[in-house]
Amino acid sequence: MTIKPDQALVRIVVVDGQEIVRHGLEYMINGSDDLNVVGVAPDMGSARAVILSQRPDVVVLDMVLPDGNGYELRPWIKEELPQCAVVCLNSHSNQEMIHQAISCGIDGLIPKNADSKTILETIRKAARGQCYVDSDILLAAFHHTQPSSSPLDILSQQESRVLTLMADGMTNREIAERMGLSEKTVKNYSSHMMAKLGVTRRTEAAALYWKHARAQNV
């Protein structure tokens, strides 16, 4: 493992049960000038120790690890390191698992066989507080929901609150004042929320809200 001296680099821990994949990801990530792998782990148990000792900015992990589902580490990581982002690599077609991972609030979810550019850009977005979910994976998650359910169901409570106020025409600053949060935090919630809904514009998010929330008398 090559530890680069520049402390401004994005610090990354890679967690994957396959040694060849761990080394491949490490080699690819360390080939970038702005990213640095500071630790690797083969499973959830050892990942906890590495994450606590290295305190990374981003954890990149496989959806399924030898001792559990990788995305289940997300709540623990957010509790121990609130600023640390979590990116999952998915190679499974289990729609229930995909839906759970998205609902868990991970910061990025992309196919494990994605090209290097996609993987690196997803890591960078996560480090900046942005969320990215591959469109095909997102469609699979929505397809899993029952016909009577709403795509809004996958949003966290805070994301739903931000969407409601956004649909009422409030700016991020106004939402921040209403919710007692910083404007940056509201922007992060907005980014995560719109990525989950598969939209890129506030107007699209608002339209989706009124389409589904009104029908449910929210």
Cβ neighbours of 2 (radius 10 Å): 9
Instruction: Provide φ and ψ at 126, rounded to 5°.
Output: -60, -40
**Strand duo 10-15 + 35-41: pairing:** parallel
Instruction: Provide φ and ψ at 70, rounded to 5°.
Output: -55, -40
Task: Report the distance separating Cα 92 and Cα 74, nearest Å.
Answer: 18
Q: What is the pLDDT of residue 149?
A: 63
Decide: 60 and 24 in contact? Cβ < 8 Å: no
- With 0.75 as the threshold, say if the pTM is over it: no
The dihedral sign for the CA sequence 175, 176, 181, 187:
positive
Residues 33-42: pLDDT tens digits? 999 999 999 9
Residues 120-171: pLDDT tens digits? 999 998 998 888 888 777 666 555 554 456 778 888 888 999 999 988 888 8
Domains of the chain, with CATH numbers?
10-143 (3.40.50.2300), 147-213 (1.10.10.10)
Q: Which residues of the chain have pLDDT under 50?
A: 146-147, 217-218
Q: What is the pLDDT of residue 25?
A: 97
The dihedral sign for the CA sequence 35, 159, 114, 48:
positive
Tokens 């996609």 appear where?
118
